[in-house]
Amino acid sequence: MSGKKLIECVPNFSEGRDMNVINQITKEIEAVEGVKLIDVDPGKATNRTVVTFVGTPDEVLEAAFRAVRKAKELIDMSKHHGAHPRFGATDVCPLVPVANITMDEVVEYAHKLAKRIGDELEIPVYCYEFAAFEAKRRNLATCRSGEYEGLPKKLQDAEWKPDFGPAKFLPQTGAIAVGARNFLVAYNVNLNTTSTRRANAVAFDIREKGRPKREGNQVTGKIAKGDNGKDIWIPGSLKACKAIGWFIDEYGIAQVSINLTDITVTPIHVAFEEACKKAQERGLRVTGSEVVGVVPLSAMLDAGKYFLKKQKRSTGIPEREIIKIAVKSLGLDELYPFDPDKKIIEYILKNKDTKRLVDLSLEHFTQETASESPAPGGGSISAAMGAFGSALATMVANLSSHKPGWDDRWEEFSNWADKGNYYMEQLLHMIDEDTAAFNRIMDAFGLPKGTDEEKAARTKAIQDATLYAIEVPFKVMNLCYESMEVIKAMAEQGNPNSVSDAGVGALAARSAVLGAYLNVKINASGLKDKMVANDFIKRGEETVSKTIALEKEILSIVEQKILQ
């Protein structure tokens, strides 16, 4: 999951009362493999349903298209009434980057989806936010101005020709806005007060819009006007932040209800810290907070690392531990338990049915290796040895960062721990990847070979799988060799009481490189392209030589420090 591109889609459908219609639309989304339906939020007063789903980009586009197609079939806009602005059966369909993908890439996907909707469903499509083709269409409210009732006239205006699809009024369907925007986090900060007014004061302090400037007394004075006759506003302290104060009967407290419209501009932990500061200035105290809906993993890791750094603690610790620090520091479990598996998008998307070697206990993993099954084999064990070597280096770095009397060096060792943790995580992933590569070869050999076409396809599949089975252990070799930079640094500079651990790390990394190289060689023997095979062998030999030399250097350092 760690390297997979993920985007979120939040289509709004103009139906919030008939669950039969809503269920038919969401079933279209759930039918697409690689997509996870996270939330369905119907509103009777607005007559609108907000749907949230996440997945890999192409699959999200397919699910979005099917949902829009079903909404066109089921929703009649000529009979629609509701409190929320709208101009189409699927009113808006924003795409949001979640993990391992840039906004520019998401914009391309938004345009691809918009074009398909326009071409195949013949619905007028306007692109907004980051996907807008011109500045005036960036604002959704501007694109949707006049709403459904104003569409006949709007579509006749050359300035409002749709970006995709025909400039033709569809009485039943209306139009759709397809966009690309940043992830929006709904986030509430809890206060030790029951006063909505006091909570509002903090909200106005922090929100980007701020509060209106008043003449004389800020509370009772009239709102000040500018030369243009418009109200003058005093901006708040946070960008990309909307906020208001309210009282929650269920918990008997007032909250600052915040929408963070761009967490790359104002992350969760920054909003929390600023709310704490402004609350304290007003004689209040923040007691905790809550995330409404879901949150990207990166936001939680950024928060956890921020608070670890404030404590002058190493950030090179396991992911779950960083999240635990974030939860405790933000008080996310004050009102109810914060379950990462239900609140963090990437964890929600994990396939709980997929069996991974790294999820086994150490005892079970060892027994699985000893069984009559050929996998996991030497390649997976090499990756595991490398992961153990990196883990030992990371441990030494973390111990050094937290060593009494070394407080002025905590950041130096934290950086080394981050590096070591990176190699450890990569190598843990390669444990299952090596077994998957072996299984891919077995699957290729099992393909049919009754006809010439089948024989050709089978041969190609075998060669492709063989190449991949070389690439995986070759990557393990390089990761393990590179991890020895951290191991050496910890032998030289780390806590001297743990120098033997750095030595064991070097032994594990060396063994992992040599073991992975054996897998490179045996798989290379089955590759027909001998030029490519020989290149892997040659580069592998060079890595082995460098590894052995570096291991000797590290062990020499370790021996000298032990004798001191």
Q: List the one residue out of 468, 421, 406, 412 whose CA is nearest residue 440.
A: 468
b vs e for 242-261, b when ≥16 Cβ sit within 10 Å of the residue's Cβ?
bbebebbeeeebbbbbbebb
What is the Cα–Cα distance from 91 to 147, expressed in whole angstroms? 10
Q: List the one residue out of 115, 110, 23 whose CA is nearest residue 70.
A: 23
Q: List the one residue out of 153, 172, 202 whose CA is nearest residue 73.
A: 172
Catalytic residue among 163, 432, 434, 501: 434
Residue 255 parent element (H or E) = strand 253-260
Phi, psi of 350 (to 5 degrees): -60, 135
What is the Cα–Cα distance from 152 to 157, expressed in whole angstroms? 9
> If DSSP codes are grouped into helix, strand and coil, which group holds residue 229?
coil
Tokens in use for 83?
């409190």
> If DSSP codes are grouped into helix, strand and coil, which group holds residue 232?
coil
State the residue for tokens 């006749």: 156
Question: What residue type is assigned to position 456 of the chain?
Answer: A
Catalytic residue among 18, 84, 262, 333: 84
What is the Cα–Cα distance from 95 to 97, expressed in whole angstroms? 7
Q: Is 80 a catalytic residue?
A: no
Tokens in use for 268?
């969760």
Phi, psi of 235 (to 5 degrees): -60, 150
Provide the strand spans (E) within 22-137: 35-43, 48-55, 90-99, 125-129
Cα distances from 71 to residues 36, 46, 143, 539, in angstroms, run: 19, 17, 20, 56
Rounded to the nearest 10 degrees, the angle between the axes of helix 268-281 and helix 297-310 is: 50
Tokens in use for 278?
């402004």
> CA 170, 173, 175 angle in degrees (round to 5)?
80
Q: Are 93 and 177 in contact (CB under 8 A)?
A: yes
What is the Cα–Cα distance from 179 to 223, expressed in whole angstroms? 36
Q: List the one residue out of 190, 208, 185 whose CA is nearest residue 299.
A: 185
> If DSSP codes are grouped into helix, strand and coil, which group holds residue 464?
helix
Other residues' Cβ atoms within 10 Å of the Cβ of residue 393: 36
> If DSSP codes are grouped into helix, strand and coil, which group holds residue 404?
coil
Q: Is 84 a catalytic residue?
A: yes
The span from the first CA to the last CA of the chain, in angstroms, equals: 46
Tokens in use for 215?
């003449």
State the residue for tokens 């103009």: 14
What is the Cα–Cα distance from 330 to 355, expressed in whole angstroms? 33
Tokens in use for 334?
């004050």
> If DSSP codes are grouped into helix, strand and coil, which group holds residue 384?
helix
What residues act catalytically? 84, 434
